[in-house]
Amino acid sequence: MTKALFVVSECAPLVKTGGLADVAGALPLALAAHDVQVRVLLPGYRNVMKQIGKTKPVATFDDLFGGAAKLLACTVAGLDLLILDAPHLYDRDGSIYGDATGADWPDNAERFAALCKTAAAIAVDGVDGWTPDIVHGHDWQAGLTPEYMIDAGAKAPFVFTIHNIAFHGNVGADKLGALGLDPARFTSDHFEFWGQISALKAGLAGATKINTVSQTYAEELLTPEFGIGMDGILRARQSDVSGIVNGIDLAAWDPATDPNIKPYQTPAGKTANKKALRKTFGLGASNGPLCVLVSRLTEQKGIDLLLDALPALLARGGQLALLGSGDPRLEVALLEAADRHENLSVKIGYDEALSHQMMAGGDVILVPSRFEPCGLTQLYGLRYGTLPLVALTGGLADTVINASPAALARRVATGIQFFPITAQALENAFVRLTDLFSDKKTWKAMQSNAMKQPVGWETSAVRYKDIYDSVLGTGQ
């Protein structure tokens, strides 16, 4: 039995802003089947504290970055959780990363340093008679963990997973004292990054092994375009960097049993869901493909490209139902476009049940991202027979088989990819899409291929186990 401590800032079903939460909620369960026991260390945000029910106090801290804190053990949805209850850091209105206006909390560095410091304490002293063999951090919020592990004298290896390198968690060097970091290691081979403290860099420098969430993104990260300043350190550590594609929770995303939809097992079952979805979004009948998009609305996701290319889809009878929230400028631009086009309907907000209905009722899931470490919605789409139309990048390149003449001839295509990632190429992809959609026989064959593609965690969980074995020296 291998014992691993996940250090992570979100975890489904308790708290989620994006795919990181899905991974933190599903991978531990998949690893359990491979003799790995995972405990997930998670901040006790106000909304998390409301949901966890019965807990067991397992440690106390008199002063954790400005206040007293407790560590609470509990089990939720089959996950073994360690909740860091530190009200001065986490008991707030607003979102988990910022206030109601969308601005980051000014003390985010301390808020997540507290999580990392607690992880280091657990690595040394254990909790509840349980000491991890491995500490596994995710994204910059867990990045300072190896620094505190050095200070605490922890011996366990640290594995670091990059879900999105765009977020560095940088703060000014004046926070060295407040964060309790050793000034002697404020150097470029530890956590110094262009004169600042970088939590992400600390994680990359201190990790025994680094991985990211798809093979293509692992290669992209080594280039200046995608590495966003971290490509140098990643190239220096190239032999320790790997890509492991994410899976999805096959129980939560199963068209045959999904309680949010009219369940189905073959593409024909989508018709009733499509009708219901059109009604929900106030869209009329049309012979073109009904596209859906579910996303955070940020620069990364290529929403501006979509707005430019959309007329090409609508002119060919296509429709788009979009659900998302984020950048207020993108929200306004989408709502304005929806006023102009009767076949575009936009809902601003976050709605888990509706996202399932969209996967069931759509013909096509759009993911026009400028970069995408893995992406999960195209995987949901595959399972629901909702064919992905995606940018050729990161995990979108690795999980979708483009409907090229060769793939169509071999009957293996599952979607459409476009490149370069421009509005013009997306427009061209919409033309290909509407042509393909009108060829009903080919479309149905692609749907059947898509629904058969394995998109669960099985293969990838084994690869994480292999990393654990290699850092512990227990592999064969």
Under the rule (CB under 6 A), what is the footprint of ligand ADP? 18-20, 22, 294-296, 323-325, 350-352, 355, 374-377
Of 209 and 347, which has the nearer Cβ to ligand ADP? 347
Of 246 and 355, which has the nearer Cβ to ligand GLC? 246
Distance (Å, whole) CA 238 – CA 246: 20
228 CB-side CA count, 13 A? 15
Q: How far is the CB of 437 from ligand GLC (least distance, A)?
A: 26
Determine the straight-line distance between the first and last CA of the chain, rounded to whole angstroms. 15
Backbone φ and ψ of 308, nearest 5° = -70, -35
Q: How far is the CB of 352 from ligand ADP (least distance, A)?
A: 5
Distance (Å, whole) CA 271 – CA 361: 7
Q: Which element (helix H / strand E) includes 347? A: strand 344-348
- Size (the chain), residues: 476
CA dist 194 to 18, 294, 359, 373, 457, Å? 29, 36, 43, 24, 38
From the list ligand GLC, ligand ADP, none, which binds 325 (C-beta under 5 to 8 Å, kind-based)? ligand ADP
Using an 8 Å Cβ cutoff, are 323 and 347 in contact?
yes
CB under 6 A: which stretch of 79-87, 171-179, 230-238, 368-376 binds ligand GLC? 368-376
Backbone φ and ψ of 58, nearest 5° = -120, -10
Of 324 and 395, which has the nearer Cβ to ligand GLC? 395
Of 163 and 316, which has the nearer Cβ to ligand GLC? 163
Q: Which element (helix H / strand E) includes 3? A: strand 2-7
CB neighbours of 446 closer than 8 A, spacing ≥ 6? 387, 403, 413, 414, 415, 436
Using an 8 Å Cβ cutoff, are 104 and 81 in contact?
no
Using an 8 Å Cβ cutoff, are 60 and 47 in contact?
no
Residue 19 touching ligand GLC (CB under 6 A): yes
Q: How far is the CB of 18 from ligand ADP (least distance, A)?
A: 3
Residue 20 touching ligand GLC (CB under 6 A): yes
Of 368 and 375, which has the nearer Cβ to ligand GLC? 375
Complete edge-to-edge strand list for the sheet that includes strand 290-297: 344-348, 319-326, 290-297, 364-367, 387-391, 416-418
Give the β-pairing of 69-76 and 56-61. Answer: antiparallel
Q: How far is the CB of 463 from ligand ADP (least distance, A)?
A: 18
DSSP, collapsed to helix, strand or coil, labels residue 169 as coil
Of 139, 115, 122, 121, give the one whose Cα is nearest residue 45: 115
Site for ligand GLC in 145-164 (CB under 6 A): 163-164
Site for ligand GLC in 336-355 (CB under 6 A): none
Of 216 and 357, which has the nearer Cβ to ligand GLC? 216
* Interface pattern 206-225 for ligand GLC (x via CB under 6 A): -------x------------
Of 72 and 294, which has the nearer Cβ to ligand ADP? 294
Site for ligand GLC in 381-420 (CB under 6 A): 395
Site for ligand GLC (CB under 6 A): which residue of 4, 5, 12, 23?
23
From the list ligand ADP, ligand GLC, none, which binds 213 (C-beta under 5 to 8 Å, kind-based)? ligand GLC
CB neighbours of 133 closer than 8 A, spacing ≥ 6? 2, 3, 4, 156, 468, 472
Of 206 and 395, which has the nearer Cβ to ligand GLC? 395
Q: How far is the CB of 285 from ligand GLC (least distance, A)?
A: 34
Using CB atoms, what's the residue nearest to ligand GLC?
A: 19
* Interface pattern 165-204 for ligand GLC (x via CB under 6 A): ----------------------------------------
Of 366 and 374, which has the nearer Cβ to ligand GLC? 374
Site for ligand GLC in 243-262 (CB under 6 A): 246
CB under 6 A: which stretch of 104-112, 145-153, 369-377, 380-388 binds ligand GLC? 369-377
Of 55 and 377, which has the nearer Cβ to ligand ADP? 377
From the list ligand GLC, ligand ADP, none, which binds 323 (C-beta under 5 to 8 Å, kind-based)? ligand ADP
Site for ligand GLC in 78-97 (CB under 6 A): none
Using an 8 Å Cβ cutoff, are 40 and 6 in contact?
yes
Using CB atoms, what's the residue nearest to ligand ADP?
A: 19
Complete edge-to-edge strand list for the sheet that includes strand 192-193: 170-172, 196-198, 192-193
Q: How far is the CB of 394 from ligand GLC (least distance, A)?
A: 7
Distance (Å, whole) CA 97 – CA 94: 8
Token pair of 90 as six digits: 């986490």
Q: How far is the CB of 476 from ligand ADP (least distance, A)?
A: 33
Binding site for ligand GLC (CB under 6 A): 18-20, 23, 163-164, 213, 246, 372-376, 395
